């Protein structure tokens, strides 16, 4: 994967024209997305409802493409990357894990197989992608691990118990979220995290102007998200070791502030 271009503003007209000239084969796909974006913006002013409709559209074509994988091989590789990273960071079978935006279990099926039965809880805003997640469970023969898969309307997590999850994980969720949606999650995730637990999330990073492409892709400065976490009493740190992996997004880890001060 090429190095991240952290200074470019992908929403700027000059960049879009230059990109189209360099990648003409991608223009039809972008035009489709732009047309769909205009219609869905009009129909669904609320961002979560908007992106739920995007997922519905993409899942009809391919559940694996809907979660950002252009081939089955890439789907497997990205899932393995997420799993191996958390395993190296101490994910243990007895941990209780919440995956926000679990999709069709690209990484989730590996987590489910590693964790003790009943210790995986996946949520997603898209009922269609959760149906595809059930297909993944069946294909991998993981029904006996008793995972929970639940559709959600927002990221308040209000139906989940206090201090329950040792590990919370959100891969390629905040990259599709405006700041109010991210803040909603950060305002509530600390409540469901167990003492000593952590929350890893990826995001599209920029070191230039924060911007978005259509209403689907959002680019943030690291300090913006760290400050947002600290506003809600959480400690946040940029995960430099994730940068060494072949993935286009960056990662931040959230912990309770007390845990960060004693570690």
CA angle 217, 225, 249 (to 5 degrees): 45
Q: Find out whether 98 and 192 touch, Cβ atoms under 8 Å.
A: yes
Q: For residue 136, what are its two tokens?
A: 């993944």
Q: Which residue has the tokens 């892709």?
A: 217
Q: Tell me how far apart the alpha carbons of residues 242 and 175 are, in angstroms, rounded to a whole number.
A: 16
- Count of CB atoms within 10 A of residue 255's CB? 21
Question: Which of 236, 202, 234, 233 is closest to 220 using CA atoms?
Answer: 202
**Binning pLDDT at 50, 70 and 90, where does residue 165 land?**
very high
| pLDDT exceeds 70 at position 77 | yes
Say what percent of the chain tops pLDDT 70: 97
| pLDDT exceeds 70 at position 263 | no
pLDDT score at 2: 45
Q: Is the dihedral of CA 198, 202, 206, 210 positive or negative?
A: negative
Domain boundaries along the sequence of the chain? 13-256
Q: Find out whether 150 and 80 touch, Cβ atoms under 8 Å.
A: no
pLDDT score at 116: 98
- Count of CB atoms within 10 A of residue 103's CB? 29
Q: Three-state DSSP class for 253?
A: strand
pLDDT score at 260: 61
CA-to-CA separations, 55 to 61, 130, 240, in angstroms, rounded: 10, 11, 30
DSSP 71-109: SHHHHHHHHHHHHHHHHHTT--TT--EEEET-TTTTTHH
Question: Which of 141, 197, 191 is closest to 169 using CA atoms?
Answer: 197
Per-residue pLDDT tens over the stretch 97-150: 999 999 999 999 999 999 999 999 999 999 999 999 999 999 999 999 999 999
Question: Which of 182, 184, 192 is closest to 160 using CA atoms?
Answer: 192
Q: For residue 256, what are its two tokens?
A: 């309770």
Average pLDDT, the chain: 94
Question: Which of 162, 177, 255, 232 is closest to 210 using CA atoms?
Answer: 177
Q: Quick one: 13-256 is in which CATH superfamily?
A: Vaccinia Virus protein VP39 (3.40.50.150)
CA-to-CA separations, 77 to 64, 66, 106, in angstroms, rounded: 12, 16, 9
Q: Find out whether 255 and 189 touch, Cβ atoms under 8 Å.
A: no
Q: Three-state DSSP class for 209?
A: coil
Q: Find out whether 116 and 93 touch, Cβ atoms under 8 Å.
A: yes
């Amino acid at each position: 994967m090429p190095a991240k271009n952290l200074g470019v503003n992908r929403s700027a007209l000059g960049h879009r024209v230059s990109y189209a000239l360099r990648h003409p084969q991608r223009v039809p796909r972008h035009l489709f997305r732009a047309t769909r974006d205009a219609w869905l913006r009009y129909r669904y002013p609320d961002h979560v409802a908007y992106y739920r409709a995007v997922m519905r559209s993409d899942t009809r074509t391919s559940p694996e493409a809907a979660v950002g994988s252009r081939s089955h091989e890439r789907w497997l590789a990205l899932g393995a990357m997420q799993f191996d990273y958390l395993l190296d960071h101490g994910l243990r079978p007895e941990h209780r894990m919440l995956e926000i935006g679990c999709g069709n279990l690209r990484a989730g099926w590996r987590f489910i197989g590693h964790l003790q039965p009943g210790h995986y809880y996946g949520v997603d805003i898209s009922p269609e992608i959760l149906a595809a997640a059930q297909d993944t469970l069946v294909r991998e023969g993981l029904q006996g691990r008793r995972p929970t898969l639940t559709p959600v309307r927002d990221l308040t997590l209000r139906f989940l118990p206090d201090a329950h999850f040792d590990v919370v994980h959100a891969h390629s969720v905040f990259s599709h979220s405006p700041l109010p949606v991210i803040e909603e999650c950060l305002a509530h995730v600390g409540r469901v995290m167990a003492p000593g637990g952590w929350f890893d999330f990826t995001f599209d990073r920029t070191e230039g102007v924060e911007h978005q492409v259509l209403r689907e892709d959002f680019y943030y400065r690291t300090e913006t998200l760290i400050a947002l976490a600290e506003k809600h009493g959480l400690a946040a740190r940029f995960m430099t070791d994730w940068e060494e992996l072949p993935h286009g997004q960056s990662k931040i880890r959230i912990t309770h502030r007390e845990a960060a001060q004693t570690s």
